[in-house]
């Protein structure tokens, strides 16, 4: 990996720190050549602290290390993207990130649906909510609906109508998300299980 430390007068280049799983940006620090060498050697992110004027391994006092997963250089060879597994919160304030964001895995619109399902689950008196009515009927009814939708997906998979197949697939996924919450789980638990199997 070629890195041009000469582009800045002080020999420092920015290092963007990103969680390897959630993809959230955790912080921004600066590295000189020695800091990068130490990071590669220890597999813990080490910066050059501009305030302390020395090498500084993130977590050396708090224990909240940033364990290196990968290091990438940008197209101009003067900025690093370091993917990590954080041990504890990243920010000195105790927040997950230096932008005071939760470092949680999200799944785009699927996460939006999960939030809506959770709201309906907590509002069972909502007479107009289909989701609330399923939760009211209990786990057996929810599981039955997942089974019915799964059969529909199989039937449509054997046909040539892609639109029907996609609609039935969406129905299956939606009801599966409801079943997950009825059992006390979310997509995070499923992806965790899949990652464990992958290892």
Is a pLDDT exceeding 80 seen at residue 158? Answer: yes
> What is the pLDDT at residue 17?
98
* Long-range CB contact pairs, 27-34, < 8 A, 24+: 27/58, 27/90, 27/91, 27/97, 27/98, 28/98, 29/58, 31/80, 32/5, 33/3, 33/5
**Same domain, yes or no: 78 and 120:** no
- CATH at residue 149: 1.10.287.1080
Is a pLDDT exceeding 80 seen at residue 1? Answer: no
Region of 88 on the Ramachandran plot (φ > 0 left; ψ -120 to 50 alpha; else beta) = left
Q: Please give the structure tokens belonging to residue 172.
A: 């299956």
Q: Is residue 100 part of a domain?
A: no
Quick check: 4 and 77 in contact, CB under 8 A? yes
Q: Is residue 190 part of a domain?
A: yes
- CATH at residue 33: 3.10.20.810
- Which pLDDT tens digit goes with each residue over 12-53? 999 999 999 999 999 999 999 999 999 999 999 999 999 889
Q: Is residue 48 part of a domain?
A: yes
Quick check: 22 and 45 in contact, CB under 8 A? no
**Same domain, yes or no: 126 and 65:** no
- Report the C-alpha gap between 87 and 90 in whole angstroms: 8
State the total domains in the chain.
2
**Same domain, yes or no: 69 and 115:** no
Q: Is residue 114 part of a domain?
A: yes
**Same domain, yes or no: 69 and 130:** no
**Same domain, yes or no: 115 and 194:** yes
Quick check: 22 and 4 in contact, CB under 8 A? no
Instruction: Give the whole-number percent of the chain exceeding pLDDT 90.
Output: 89
**Same domain, yes or no: 75 and 114:** no
Out of 49, 71, 86, a domain closes at 86
Question: 64 is in which domain, residue-wise?
Answer: 13-86
Out of 86, 121, 148, a domain closes at 86
- Which pLDDT tens digit goes with each residue over 48-91? 999 889 999 999 999 999 999 999 999 999 999 999 999 999 99
**Same domain, yes or no: 25 and 56:** yes
Is a pLDDT exceeding 90 seen at residue 4? Answer: no
Is a pLDDT exceeding 90 seen at residue 9? Answer: no
Out of 53, 86, 119, a domain closes at 86
Question: What is the arithmetic mean of pLDDT over 112-121?
Answer: 96
**Same domain, yes or no: 51 and 19:** yes
Q: Is residue 53 part of a domain?
A: yes
> pLDDT tier at 199 (50, 70, 90 boundaries)?
confident
> What is the pLDDT at residue 182?
97
Quick check: 50 and 35 in contact, CB under 8 A? no
């Amino acid at each position: 990996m070629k890195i041009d430390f000469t582009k800045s007068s002080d020999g420092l280049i920015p290092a963007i720190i990103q969680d390897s799983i959630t993809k959230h940006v955790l912080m921004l620090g600066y590295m000189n050549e020695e800091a990068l060498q130490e990071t590669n050697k220890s597999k813990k992110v080490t910066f050059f602290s501009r305030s302390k004027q020395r090498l500084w391994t993130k977590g050396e006092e708090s224990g909240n290390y940033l364990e290196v997963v990968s290091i990438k250089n940008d197209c101009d060879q003067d900025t690093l993207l370091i993917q990590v597994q954080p041990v504890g919160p990243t920010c000195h304030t105790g927040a997950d990130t230096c932008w005071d964001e939760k470092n949680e895995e999200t799944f785009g619109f699927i996460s939006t649906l999960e939030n809506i399902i959770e709201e309906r689950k907590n509002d069972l008196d909502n007479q107009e909510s289909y989701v609330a009515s399923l939760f009211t009927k209990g786990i057996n009814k929810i599981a039955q609906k997942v089974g019915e939708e799964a059969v529909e997906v199989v039937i449509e998979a054997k046909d040539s109508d892609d639109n029907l197949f996609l609609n039935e697939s969406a129905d299956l996924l939606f009801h599966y998300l409801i079943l997950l919450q009825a059992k006390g789980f979310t997509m995070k638990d499923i992806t965790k299980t899949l990652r464990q199997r992958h290892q």
